[in-house]
Amino acid sequence: MKKYLLILPLLFSVFFLSGCRKKKTVTITPTPTPRMVELAPEDRPVVSLSPRADGHELYLKLSSVSPKINKIEYELTYTAVDGAMEIEKGASGIIESNDFQNGTVTRKILLGTESCTNGCKYKYDTGVSHGNLTLLISSQGQLSTFETPFILKSAADIKKTGGKITWEEIDFSQAPKQASPFYIVHQDYQSGEYVINGSSQ
């Protein structure tokens, strides 16, 4: 019995001291968040948004892309009409640096849905007249953004306004320089001015 009485304090002290050992600390290095910067004018790509001849698809063309740019993410949102309801829809994608051919790349953006399980079938959105384009540009560990609203007009729409494209929200009124069934007006990234683009195909 005396042996057990002697062993108990010894076990208690070992257990107590082992709990007081210095625990190892694990250092977690946070992933650096890219800084948001304003892209220098000479590094800004030329951004062109134009409609297909039937107005159901848009072409996003980026040219003169600086070799400093690693990746560009794009998001295009627009409002479609379904009966008496307005629905916000959109499309997005990522363009990697190896997608650029001589600093140029084009992406097709369908204004609707596509099903190609047994031959491709399309359901086009109706009543599309305006939207927004946003670019998130990754360049040497830094991020830059470009955002522009746009409007989509048919030749019939323009005829009703005396041959000019009128955009009251930005006080824009200008006649197109070329004949086209559809037009898009959006802001130019480099100059900040609004430009008119006719149908590409």
Higher pLDDT, 175 or 141: 175
What burial letters (b/e) apply to 25-46, b meaning 16+ CB within 10 Å?
eeeeeeeeeeeeeebeeebbbe
Residue 89 pLDDT level (bands cut at 50, 70, 90): very high
- pLDDT tens per residue across span 33-50: 667 889 989 999 999 999
Local structure of 159: helix, strand or coil: helix
The pLDDT score that the predictor gives to residue 32 is 58
Mean pLDDT of 81-107: 92
pLDDT at 2: 47
pLDDT of 4: 47
Whether the pLDDT of residue 21 is over 80: the answer is: no
21-25, 31-35, 122-126, 150-154: range with highest mean pLDDT: 150-154
CATH assignment, 42-198: 2.60.40.10
| CA separation for the pair 43, 190 (Å, rounded) | 9
CA dist list (Å): 111 to 108, 119, 126, 128, 168 = 10, 19, 8, 8, 24
In the chain, domain spans: 42-198
Q: At 119, is the pLDDT very low, low, confident or very high (cuts 50, 70, 90)? A: confident
* Mean pLDDT of the residues in the chain: 86
Q: What is the pLDDT of residue 30?
A: 57
Share of the chain above pLDDT 90, in %: 66
